[in-house]
A = this chain, B = another copy of it.
Amino acid sequence: MTQQPTGETPGFGPNLVEVFGPSQQDGGPELIQLLTPEGERVHHPEFDHDFTAEELRGFYRDMVLTRRIDTEATALQRHGELGIWAQLLGQEAAQIGAGRALRPQDFVFPTYREHGVAWCRGVDPLRLLGLFRGVDQGGWNPDDNNFGLYTIVIGAQTLHATGYAMGMQRDGVVGTGDPDRDAAVVAHFGDGASSQGDVNEAFIFAASYNAPVVFFCQNNQWAISEPIERQSRIPLYQRALGFGFPGVRVDGNDVLATYAVTKAALQRARDGQGPTFVEAYTYRMGAHTTTDDPTRYRLSGDVESWKLKDPIARVEVYLRRNGLVDDEFLAGIQAEADDLGHTLREGCKAMPDPQPMSMFDHVYAEMTDELAAQRDAYAAYLETFEGSTH
Protein backbone atom coordinates (compact mmCIF):
# COMPACT_ATOMS: atom_id res chain seq x y z
CA MET A 1 0.00 0.00 0.00
CA THR A 2 2.84 2.40 0.66
CA GLN A 3 3.90 1.97 -2.94
CA GLN A 4 7.44 2.32 -4.06
CA PRO A 5 8.06 4.23 -7.29
CA THR A 6 6.69 2.11 -10.08
CA GLY A 7 8.67 3.67 -12.89
CA GLU A 8 9.07 6.79 -14.85
CA THR A 9 6.36 9.42 -14.94
CA PRO A 10 6.35 11.46 -18.07
CA GLY A 11 7.10 15.00 -17.22
CA PHE A 12 9.60 14.58 -14.49
CA GLY A 13 12.72 15.35 -16.34
CA PRO A 14 15.77 13.19 -16.07
CA ASN A 15 14.46 10.03 -14.56
CA LEU A 16 15.33 10.28 -10.92
CA VAL A 17 16.86 6.84 -10.86
CA GLU A 18 19.39 7.92 -13.43
CA VAL A 19 20.59 10.69 -11.18
CA PHE A 20 20.29 8.96 -7.87
CA GLY A 21 20.09 5.23 -7.78
CA PRO A 22 18.48 3.31 -4.95
CA SER A 23 20.70 2.08 -2.17
CA GLN A 24 22.59 -1.00 -3.28
CA GLN A 25 23.34 -4.05 -1.27
CA ASP A 26 27.09 -3.84 -1.38
CA GLY A 27 27.31 -0.11 -1.09
CA GLY A 28 26.97 0.39 -4.82
CA PRO A 29 29.48 1.41 -7.43
CA GLU A 30 29.97 4.78 -5.77
CA LEU A 31 31.61 3.12 -2.80
CA ILE A 32 35.14 4.38 -2.35
CA GLN A 33 37.50 1.61 -1.40
CA LEU A 34 41.29 1.29 -1.04
CA LEU A 35 41.46 -2.11 0.60
CA THR A 36 39.05 -4.87 -0.34
CA PRO A 37 37.55 -7.28 2.17
CA GLU A 38 40.05 -9.81 0.84
CA GLY A 39 42.90 -7.49 1.76
CA GLU A 40 43.71 -6.40 -1.79
CA ARG A 41 45.01 -2.88 -2.07
CA VAL A 42 43.06 -1.10 -4.80
CA HIS A 43 43.34 2.44 -6.03
CA HIS A 44 40.89 5.21 -6.50
CA PRO A 45 41.27 7.96 -9.07
CA GLU A 46 40.37 10.79 -6.72
CA PHE A 47 41.02 9.61 -3.20
CA ASP A 48 44.26 7.93 -2.49
CA HIS A 49 47.16 8.12 -0.17
CA ASP A 50 50.56 6.50 0.09
CA PHE A 51 50.38 4.74 3.38
CA THR A 52 53.61 4.03 5.20
CA ALA A 53 54.02 0.70 6.92
CA GLU A 54 54.04 2.64 10.16
CA GLU A 55 50.65 4.14 9.43
CA LEU A 56 49.16 0.81 8.48
CA ARG A 57 50.46 -0.90 11.59
CA GLY A 58 49.14 2.03 13.58
CA PHE A 59 45.66 1.60 12.13
CA TYR A 60 45.78 -2.06 12.89
CA ARG A 61 46.82 -1.48 16.46
CA ASP A 62 44.17 1.21 16.92
CA MET A 63 41.46 -1.07 15.64
CA VAL A 64 42.49 -4.04 17.72
CA LEU A 65 42.71 -1.98 20.88
CA THR A 66 39.42 -0.24 20.13
CA ARG A 67 37.75 -3.57 19.64
CA ARG A 68 39.18 -4.68 22.95
CA ILE A 69 37.76 -1.62 24.70
CA ASP A 70 34.43 -2.58 23.20
CA THR A 71 34.49 -6.24 24.15
CA GLU A 72 35.70 -5.43 27.66
CA ALA A 73 32.98 -2.89 28.16
CA THR A 74 30.40 -5.33 26.84
CA ALA A 75 31.65 -7.91 29.31
CA LEU A 76 31.64 -5.37 32.11
CA GLN A 77 28.00 -4.65 31.35
CA ARG A 78 27.20 -8.36 31.47
CA HIS A 79 28.82 -8.49 34.86
CA GLY A 80 26.71 -5.61 36.10
CA GLU A 81 29.54 -3.12 36.21
CA LEU A 82 27.98 -0.94 33.54
CA GLY A 83 24.31 -0.13 33.20
CA ILE A 84 24.45 -0.28 29.43
CA TRP A 85 27.05 -0.16 26.67
CA ALA A 86 26.81 1.01 23.07
CA GLN A 87 28.94 -1.40 21.08
CA LEU A 88 30.97 -0.39 18.06
CA LEU A 89 31.77 -3.90 16.84
CA GLY A 90 32.26 -3.74 13.09
CA GLN A 91 32.66 0.03 12.99
CA GLU A 92 36.31 0.17 14.02
CA ALA A 93 37.62 1.12 10.60
CA ALA A 94 35.12 3.93 10.16
CA GLN A 95 36.08 5.40 13.50
CA ILE A 96 39.83 4.93 13.33
CA GLY A 97 39.93 6.19 9.77
CA ALA A 98 37.98 9.28 10.75
CA GLY A 99 39.89 9.74 14.00
CA ARG A 100 43.36 9.46 12.53
CA ALA A 101 42.55 11.95 9.78
CA LEU A 102 42.23 14.69 12.39
CA ARG A 103 44.84 17.27 13.24
CA PRO A 104 45.25 18.38 16.86
CA GLN A 105 43.49 21.69 16.29
CA ASP A 106 40.38 20.05 14.84
CA PHE A 107 37.41 19.44 17.08
CA VAL A 108 35.13 16.40 17.22
CA PHE A 109 31.47 16.13 18.20
CA PRO A 110 30.67 12.47 18.88
CA THR A 111 27.46 10.51 19.43
CA TYR A 112 27.50 7.88 22.19
CA ARG A 113 29.31 5.28 20.12
CA GLU A 114 32.53 7.00 19.04
CA HIS A 115 34.86 5.01 21.28
CA GLY A 116 37.35 4.56 18.45
CA VAL A 117 37.48 8.25 17.68
CA ALA A 118 37.92 8.97 21.38
CA TRP A 119 40.84 6.57 21.35
CA CYS A 120 42.46 8.44 18.48
CA ARG A 121 41.98 11.71 20.32
CA GLY A 122 43.80 10.35 23.35
CA VAL A 123 40.84 10.25 25.70
CA ASP A 124 41.55 7.75 28.48
CA PRO A 125 39.25 4.81 27.60
CA LEU A 126 38.36 4.39 31.23
CA ARG A 127 36.76 7.83 31.12
CA LEU A 128 34.37 6.55 28.45
CA LEU A 129 32.88 4.08 30.89
CA GLY A 130 31.66 6.63 33.42
CA LEU A 131 28.57 7.57 31.46
CA PHE A 132 27.57 3.94 30.98
CA ARG A 133 28.34 3.03 34.56
CA GLY A 134 26.21 5.91 35.74
CA VAL A 135 28.91 7.70 37.68
CA ASP A 136 29.04 10.74 35.43
CA GLN A 137 27.62 12.10 32.18
CA GLY A 138 30.95 12.47 30.43
CA GLY A 139 34.15 12.28 32.37
CA TRP A 140 36.57 14.20 30.20
CA ASN A 141 37.22 17.83 29.47
CA PRO A 142 36.29 18.48 25.84
CA ASP A 143 39.03 21.07 25.55
CA ASP A 144 41.76 18.71 26.68
CA ASN A 145 41.61 16.64 23.53
CA ASN A 146 39.25 18.67 21.35
CA PHE A 147 36.75 15.89 21.74
CA GLY A 148 33.25 16.83 22.87
CA LEU A 149 31.13 14.93 25.32
CA TYR A 150 28.98 12.07 24.15
CA THR A 151 25.57 13.33 23.11
CA ILE A 152 22.55 11.12 23.52
CA VAL A 153 19.75 13.18 22.03
CA ILE A 154 20.00 12.06 18.44
CA GLY A 155 21.46 14.68 16.13
CA ALA A 156 21.70 17.56 18.61
CA GLN A 157 25.49 17.65 18.36
CA THR A 158 25.49 18.28 14.62
CA LEU A 159 24.24 21.80 15.29
CA HIS A 160 26.80 22.28 18.03
CA ALA A 161 29.46 21.20 15.58
CA THR A 162 28.24 23.68 13.01
CA GLY A 163 28.18 26.50 15.55
CA TYR A 164 31.65 25.58 16.75
CA ALA A 165 32.83 25.67 13.14
CA MET A 166 31.25 29.11 12.77
CA GLY A 167 33.23 30.14 15.82
CA MET A 168 36.42 28.93 14.14
CA GLN A 169 35.60 31.11 11.16
CA ARG A 170 35.33 34.08 13.47
CA ASP A 171 38.60 33.14 15.15
CA GLY A 172 40.35 33.36 11.80
CA VAL A 173 41.54 29.77 11.79
CA VAL A 174 39.99 28.80 8.48
CA GLY A 175 41.49 29.26 5.04
CA THR A 176 44.65 31.06 6.18
CA GLY A 177 46.90 28.55 4.46
CA ASP A 178 48.79 27.85 7.66
CA PRO A 179 48.53 24.07 8.17
CA ASP A 180 49.12 24.32 11.90
CA ARG A 181 46.45 26.88 12.28
CA ASP A 182 43.62 26.04 9.94
CA ALA A 183 41.07 23.91 11.71
CA ALA A 184 37.85 22.07 11.09
CA VAL A 185 35.14 20.20 12.95
CA VAL A 186 33.81 16.68 12.57
CA ALA A 187 30.18 15.99 13.45
CA HIS A 188 29.45 12.32 13.98
CA PHE A 189 26.01 10.83 13.59
CA GLY A 190 24.22 7.72 12.44
CA ASP A 191 21.98 6.75 9.58
CA GLY A 192 18.91 7.06 11.79
CA ALA A 193 19.99 10.51 12.92
CA SER A 194 19.83 11.71 9.34
CA SER A 195 16.05 11.93 9.76
CA GLN A 196 16.15 14.40 12.63
CA GLY A 197 15.24 18.00 11.92
CA ASP A 198 18.36 19.13 13.77
CA VAL A 199 20.67 17.26 11.45
CA ASN A 200 19.06 18.72 8.37
CA GLU A 201 19.14 22.18 9.91
CA ALA A 202 22.84 21.65 10.56
CA PHE A 203 23.29 21.00 6.83
CA ILE A 204 21.45 24.24 6.10
CA PHE A 205 23.44 26.37 8.51
CA ALA A 206 26.73 24.82 7.44
CA ALA A 207 25.95 25.44 3.78
CA SER A 208 24.63 28.93 4.39
CA TYR A 209 27.73 30.02 6.30
CA ASN A 210 30.10 27.71 4.43
CA ALA A 211 31.24 26.44 7.80
CA PRO A 212 34.30 24.17 8.11
CA VAL A 213 32.52 21.03 9.21
CA VAL A 214 32.67 17.44 8.03
CA PHE A 215 29.41 15.58 8.55
CA PHE A 216 30.59 12.06 9.19
CA CYS A 217 27.71 9.60 9.08
CA GLN A 218 28.31 6.02 10.05
CA ASN A 219 25.62 4.27 8.10
CA ASN A 220 25.64 1.03 10.04
CA GLN A 221 22.37 0.08 8.33
CA TRP A 222 20.32 0.18 11.51
CA ALA A 223 18.71 2.61 13.90
CA ILE A 224 17.95 0.15 16.66
CA SER A 225 15.44 -2.09 14.83
CA GLU A 226 14.79 0.12 11.84
CA PRO A 227 16.70 -0.51 8.64
CA ILE A 228 18.20 2.33 6.65
CA GLU A 229 15.37 2.07 4.10
CA ARG A 230 12.99 3.62 6.63
CA GLN A 231 15.15 6.76 6.73
CA SER A 232 16.17 7.12 3.11
CA ARG A 233 15.34 5.49 -0.17
CA ILE A 234 18.50 6.69 -1.87
CA PRO A 235 22.09 6.46 -0.68
CA LEU A 236 22.48 8.77 2.26
CA TYR A 237 25.52 10.67 1.02
CA GLN A 238 23.35 12.08 -1.75
CA ARG A 239 21.36 13.99 0.84
CA ALA A 240 24.15 16.55 0.93
CA LEU A 241 23.87 17.36 -2.76
CA GLY A 242 20.40 18.73 -2.22
CA PHE A 243 21.81 21.13 0.34
CA GLY A 244 24.52 22.28 -2.02
CA PHE A 245 27.64 20.59 -0.77
CA PRO A 246 29.46 17.41 -1.71
CA GLY A 247 28.67 14.00 -0.38
CA VAL A 248 30.69 10.84 -0.78
CA ARG A 249 30.21 7.23 0.23
CA VAL A 250 33.22 5.42 1.51
CA ASP A 251 33.64 1.81 2.56
CA GLY A 252 33.42 2.29 6.30
CA ASN A 253 34.98 -1.12 6.87
CA ASP A 254 38.06 0.03 4.99
CA VAL A 255 40.22 2.08 7.32
CA LEU A 256 42.46 3.22 4.49
CA ALA A 257 39.65 4.61 2.41
CA THR A 258 37.89 6.17 5.37
CA TYR A 259 41.12 7.84 6.38
CA ALA A 260 41.83 9.17 2.90
CA VAL A 261 38.33 10.48 2.31
CA THR A 262 37.97 12.09 5.74
CA LYS A 263 41.37 13.68 5.41
CA ALA A 264 40.41 15.22 2.09
CA ALA A 265 37.09 16.43 3.47
CA LEU A 266 38.80 17.94 6.51
CA GLN A 267 41.35 19.68 4.32
CA ARG A 268 38.57 21.07 2.20
CA ALA A 269 36.93 22.46 5.35
CA ARG A 270 40.18 23.88 6.74
CA ASP A 271 40.83 25.54 3.39
CA GLY A 272 37.57 27.41 3.68
CA GLN A 273 35.68 25.41 1.11
CA GLY A 274 32.90 24.50 3.46
CA PRO A 275 31.07 21.39 4.54
CA THR A 276 31.27 17.85 3.20
CA PHE A 277 29.12 14.84 3.95
CA VAL A 278 30.99 11.57 4.33
CA GLU A 279 28.86 8.46 4.50
CA ALA A 280 30.88 5.62 5.98
CA TYR A 281 29.06 2.56 4.75
CA THR A 282 29.40 -0.07 7.45
CA TYR A 283 27.44 -2.47 9.58
CA ARG A 284 26.51 -2.70 13.23
CA MET A 285 27.72 -6.22 13.95
CA GLY A 286 26.46 -6.26 17.52
CA ALA A 287 23.24 -5.26 19.17
CA HIS A 288 22.23 -1.58 19.27
CA THR A 289 23.25 -1.58 22.90
CA THR A 290 23.68 -4.32 25.44
CA THR A 291 19.94 -4.14 26.21
CA ASP A 292 18.89 -4.74 22.61
CA ASP A 293 17.94 -8.06 21.05
CA PRO A 294 18.56 -7.89 17.30
CA THR A 295 17.30 -11.40 16.68
CA ARG A 296 13.82 -9.91 16.85
CA TYR A 297 14.30 -7.85 13.73
CA ARG A 298 17.19 -8.97 11.55
CA LEU A 299 18.48 -12.08 9.88
CA SER A 300 21.59 -13.75 11.12
CA GLY A 301 22.52 -14.34 7.48
CA ASP A 302 23.02 -10.62 6.99
CA VAL A 303 25.34 -10.49 9.93
CA GLU A 304 27.25 -13.47 8.62
CA SER A 305 27.78 -11.89 5.22
CA TRP A 306 29.14 -8.75 6.84
CA LYS A 307 31.57 -10.80 8.89
CA LEU A 308 33.41 -11.41 5.65
CA LYS A 309 33.99 -7.69 5.41
CA ASP A 310 35.54 -7.39 8.85
CA PRO A 311 37.57 -4.20 9.07
CA ILE A 312 40.43 -5.66 11.10
CA ALA A 313 40.84 -8.95 9.29
CA ARG A 314 41.44 -7.32 5.94
CA VAL A 315 44.23 -5.11 7.29
CA GLU A 316 45.83 -8.07 9.00
CA VAL A 317 45.77 -10.05 5.76
CA TYR A 318 47.32 -7.16 3.90
CA LEU A 319 50.01 -6.56 6.51
CA ARG A 320 50.94 -10.20 6.67
CA ARG A 321 50.86 -10.78 2.95
CA ASN A 322 53.16 -7.85 2.42
CA GLY A 323 55.42 -8.82 5.25
CA LEU A 324 54.76 -5.64 7.15
CA VAL A 325 54.10 -7.44 10.40
CA ASP A 326 55.31 -10.61 11.98
CA ASP A 327 53.93 -12.86 14.66
CA GLU A 328 55.89 -11.03 17.29
CA PHE A 329 54.32 -7.72 16.37
CA LEU A 330 50.86 -9.22 16.41
CA ALA A 331 51.49 -10.94 19.70
CA GLY A 332 52.73 -7.64 21.09
CA ILE A 333 49.49 -5.98 20.19
CA GLN A 334 47.51 -8.80 21.72
CA ALA A 335 49.49 -8.34 24.89
CA GLU A 336 48.82 -4.64 24.80
CA ALA A 337 45.14 -5.38 24.34
CA ASP A 338 45.18 -7.76 27.27
CA ASP A 339 46.80 -5.08 29.42
CA LEU A 340 44.24 -2.57 28.30
CA GLY A 341 41.46 -5.02 29.08
CA HIS A 342 42.88 -5.57 32.52
CA THR A 343 43.24 -1.85 33.16
CA LEU A 344 39.67 -1.27 32.08
CA ARG A 345 38.28 -4.07 34.20
CA GLU A 346 40.09 -3.01 37.29
CA GLY A 347 39.62 0.66 36.65
CA CYS A 348 35.93 0.28 36.07
CA LYS A 349 35.29 -1.64 39.22
CA ALA A 350 37.32 0.89 41.18
CA MET A 351 35.39 3.86 39.81
CA PRO A 352 33.83 5.50 42.80
CA ASP A 353 30.19 6.44 42.90
CA PRO A 354 29.71 10.17 42.90
CA GLN A 355 28.89 11.89 46.14
CA PRO A 356 25.15 12.34 46.39
CA MET A 357 25.58 15.99 47.23
CA SER A 358 27.49 16.49 43.98
CA MET A 359 24.20 16.63 42.12
CA PHE A 360 23.85 20.19 43.32
CA ASP A 361 27.22 21.16 41.91
CA HIS A 362 27.54 22.64 38.46
CA VAL A 363 23.83 23.08 37.86
CA TYR A 364 24.94 26.64 37.42
CA ALA A 365 28.26 28.35 36.96
CA GLU A 366 26.98 30.84 39.50
CA MET A 367 25.15 28.90 42.21
CA THR A 368 21.77 30.28 43.18
CA ASP A 369 20.66 30.91 46.75
CA GLU A 370 17.55 28.83 46.30
CA LEU A 371 19.45 25.81 45.08
CA ALA A 372 22.04 26.24 47.83
CA ALA A 373 19.19 26.23 50.32
CA GLN A 374 17.77 23.05 48.80
CA ARG A 375 21.20 21.47 48.96
CA ASP A 376 21.73 22.49 52.56
CA ALA A 377 18.33 21.23 53.58
CA TYR A 378 19.07 17.88 51.98
CA ALA A 379 22.46 17.72 53.68
CA ALA A 380 20.84 18.44 57.00
CA TYR A 381 18.23 15.78 56.30
CA LEU A 382 20.90 13.23 55.45
CA GLU A 383 22.65 14.02 58.70
CA THR A 384 19.62 12.88 60.61
CA PHE A 385 20.39 9.39 59.34
CA GLU A 386 23.99 9.56 60.38
CA GLY A 387 24.83 6.33 62.09
CA SER A 388 21.65 4.68 60.89
CA THR A 389 21.61 2.22 58.02
CA HIS A 390 20.17 4.62 55.45
- Kindly state whether residue A9 has any CB partner on chain B within 8 Å: yes
In angstroms, Cα B4 to Cα A175, docked, is 11
From B10, B197, B198, B246, give the contact of A46 (CB < 8 A).
Answer: B10
B197 and A244: CB pair below 8 A?
A: no
Stretch at the interface among A77-85, A94-102, A200-208, A374-382: A200-208
Q: Which of A212-248 contact B (CB under 8 A)?
A: 229-234, 238-246, 248
A378: min CB distance to chain B, Å: 34
From B13, B46, B172, B207, give the contact of A13 (CB < 8 A).
Answer: B46
- Kindly state whether residue A1 has any CB partner on chain B within 8 Å: yes
From B20, B209, B244, give the contact of A244 (CB < 8 A).
Answer: B20
- Kindly state whether residue A34 has any CB partner on chain B within 8 Å: no
A324: min CB distance to chain B, Å: 26
A232 and B209: CB pair below 8 A?
A: no
Contacts of A345 in B (CB 8 A): none
- Kindly state whether residue A106 has any CB partner on chain B within 8 Å: no
- The contact size tier of chain A is 35 or more
B268 and A12: CB pair below 8 A?
A: yes
Closest to A12 in B: B246
A12 and B242: CB pair below 8 A?
A: no
Closest to A263 in B: B11
B198 and A197: CB pair below 8 A?
A: yes
Take A169-B1, A169-B2 as given contacts and tell me if A242 and B242 are in contact as well, using a CB distance cutoff of 8 Å.
Answer: yes
B16 and A245: CB pair below 8 A?
A: yes
A164: min CB distance to chain B, Å: 14
- Kindly state whether residue A306 has any CB partner on chain B within 8 Å: no
Contacts of A241 in B (CB 8 A): 16, 19-20, 238, 241-242
- Kindly state whether residue A291 has any CB partner on chain B within 8 Å: no
- Kindly state whether residue A6 has any CB partner on chain B within 8 Å: yes
Beyond the given pairs A6-B273, A9-B267, A12-B268, 8 more chain A to chain B contacts, judged by CB atoms under 8 angstroms and listed by A's residue number, are A7-B273, A12-B46, A197-B201, A208-B232, A234-B244, A238-B241, A238-B242, A242-B243
Q: Which residues of A contact B (CB under 8 A)?
A: 1-7, 9-13, 16, 19-20, 46-47, 166, 169-170, 172, 174-175, 195-198, 200-201, 204, 207-211, 229-234, 238-246, 248, 261, 264, 267-268, 271-274, 276
